Amino acid sequence: MPYLTHPAELAQLFPGEAPYRSQQLYHWLYRRPTLSAASMTDLPPGMRKALTDRLWPFVVEVEQIADKGSTVKWLFRAPDGAAIEAVLMGYPGRTTLCISSQVGCALACSFCATGQFGFERHLQAGEIVAQVAYAGAYLREVGLSIGPDHLTNIVFMGMGEPLANYDRVRESIRRIVDDMEMSPRRLTVSTVGLVPGMQRLTEEPWQLNLAVSLHAADDELRNTLVPINRRYPLAEVEAAAAAYFGRKGRRVSIEWTLIDNVNDTIEQATKLASIAGRLGAHVNVIPLNPTPLSTDQPSRTAQIRAFVRHLRSLDINATIRDTRGSDIDAACGQLRAGRAASS
Ligand code: SF4
């Protein structure tokens, strides 16, 4: 499968073809992806036919469109049965693709649909890149009701913890930047706070955006919501985020899933403001998407507003993230969770 092959080794897939054929294939895979090999018009019919069956390292099992055509969510299925989710969202002037880096997740955050199903396996670099290529081809050939016909932003916020799959995620970023020619400033890596991975990312050559999923502003509460906090407590996560900001000059963002009566108190907002203030971080507040295996509920609208108002009163930039695709289970792991619950 071409995306599972290193871009420099594509010639191995078609040993009988002239060397320039692999250059043509490279162009179609990375510079101008198409949904179907039939559109790769300068390749010989035999190559196109062979690619038709194995162009993508997955099949599209579910495609759901929501928000009046401005959101599409895919559940891709790999040959080994692994479920890979990606969500594409269009806005005026930009498109954002949310991609997965693992199948399942071992970190078991209490409110997360992906975490509730445990860890299955890491995604390969090519499986991550193929999500980007597929969305790019979709935008060009089908399109959303809003936004440009190409990807402008990619966020590693789908299923899995990207920094727990560091080397493959790193290689996928390298391909997105070097082969697909996207600016690293358009890429955001989200982490729940894997400090060694944050430190490695700080040493990388790219000006990536870093988003830290905090969800709680003291260790006592965070230990219950984000169990990995016991290994990498808040102070260490904050220090690693500060080091990233210091090295890259890229403002770190803090992600905060608001859960009713759990982390939506004014006391938590005050503590969060202290951390965000020290980091100069922007806070994205996301109302919880309820999951099948948890009784946690999203905060009520009045509480969400009060939480954000309090942050702003303490001079913190805070945004309530729109819950795109809530009618299609668009939070990470939810499409898969929904299918498991109904099967
Ligand atoms: S929130 Fe992220 S790190 Fe936590 S279980 Fe879900 S996918 Fe894993």
Residue partners of 102: CB distance under 8 A and separation at least 6: 119, 120, 121, 122, 123, 159, 160, 161, 162, 164, 165
Residue 12 domain-assigned (yes or no): no
Distance 26 CA to ligand 1 centre (A): 33
Q: Which of the listed residues 121, 123, 192, 257 should we mutate to test ligand 1's pocket, taking the one with most ligand atoms within 8 A of CB?
A: 192
Residue 342 domain-assigned (yes or no): no
Per the prediction, the chain carries an average pLDDT of 93
| Ligand 1 pocket member 129 (CB < 6 A) | no
Question: Is the separation of the CB atoms in 118 and 174 below 8 Å?
Answer: no
pLDDT at position 341: 41
Q: Return the closest-CA partner of residue 189 out of 205, 219, 213.
A: 213
Q: Are residues 115 and 217 in the same domain?
A: yes
Q: Return the closest-CA partner of residue 102 out of 158, 154, 59, 141.
A: 158
pLDDT at position 329: 52
Residue 14 domain-assigned (yes or no): no
Can you spell out the DSSP letters for 90-122?
A: EETTEEEEE--SEEE-SS--TT-HHHHT-EEEE
Q: Are residues 179 and 322 in the same domain?
A: yes
Q: Is 112 a catalytic residue?
A: no
The CA-to-CA distance between both ends of the chain, in Å, stands at 30
Q: Are residues 37 and 167 in the same domain?
A: no
| Ligand 1 pocket member 108 (CB < 6 A) | yes
Q: Are residues 145 and 47 in the same domain?
A: no
pLDDT confidence bin for 293, thresholds 50/70/90: confident
Q: Are residues 28 and 137 in the same domain?
A: no
Share of the chain above pLDDT 70, in %: 94
Task: Calculate mean pLDDT across residues 167-184.
Answer: 98
pLDDT digits (tens, 9 = 90+) for 54-98: 999 999 999 999 999 999 999 999 999 999 999 999 999 999 999
Element (H, E) at 65: strand 59-66
pLDDT at 206 over 70: yes
Domain that holds residue 308: 56-336
Window from 151-155, 182-186, 266-270, 318-322 with minimum mean pLDDT: 318-322
| Ligand 1 pocket member 160 (CB < 6 A) | yes
pLDDT confidence bin for 333, thresholds 50/70/90: low
Residue 264 domain-assigned (yes or no): yes
pLDDT confidence bin for 321, thresholds 50/70/90: confident
Q: What distance in Å separates the CA atoms of residue 161 and residue 333, rounded to the nearest whole number?
A: 12
Residue 13 domain-assigned (yes or no): no
Ligand 1 atom 4, closest CA? 109
Q: Which of the listed residues 87, 102, 105, 228 should we mutate to test ligand 1's pocket, taking the one with most ligand atoms within 8 A of CB?
A: 105
Task: Calculate mean pLDDT across residues 97-125.
Answer: 94
- When divided into structural domains, the chain yields a total of 2
Residues paired with 190 in a beta bridge:
211
Query: Strand pairing of 209-213 and 253-258?
Result: parallel
| Ligand 1 pocket member 287 (CB < 6 A) | no
Residue 16 domain-assigned (yes or no): no
Q: Return the closest-CA partner of residue 331 out of 223, 259, 250.
A: 259
Catalytic residue (choose from 98, 109, 112, 332): 332
Q: Which of the listed residues 84, 107, 222, 259 should we mutate to test ligand 1's pocket, taking the one with most ligand atoms within 8 A of CB?
A: 107
Q: Are residues 222 and 288 in the same domain?
A: yes
Q: Are residues 50 and 105 in the same domain?
A: no
CATH number, position 134: 3.20.20.70
Distance 242 CA to ligand 1 centre (A): 22
Q: Are residues 38 and 90 in the same domain?
A: no
pLDDT digits (tens, 9 = 90+) for 37-51: 999 999 999 999 999
Q: Are residues 30 and 79 in the same domain?
A: no
Task: Calculate mean pLDDT across residues 225-243.
Answer: 98
Residue 239 domain-assigned (yes or no): yes
Question: Is the separation of the CB atoms in 148 and 103 below 8 Å?
Answer: no
Residue 115 domain-assigned (yes or no): yes
Query: Strand pairing of 83-91 and 94-98?
Result: antiparallel
Q: Are residues 41 and 117 in the same domain?
A: no
pLDDT at position 258: 95
Q: Are residues 150 and 280 in the same domain?
A: yes
| Ligand 1 pocket member 163 (CB < 6 A) | no
Q: Return the closest-CA partner of residue 76 out of 64, 88, 86.
A: 86
Q: Are residues 281 and 165 in the same domain?
A: yes
| Ligand 1 pocket member 161 (CB < 6 A) | yes
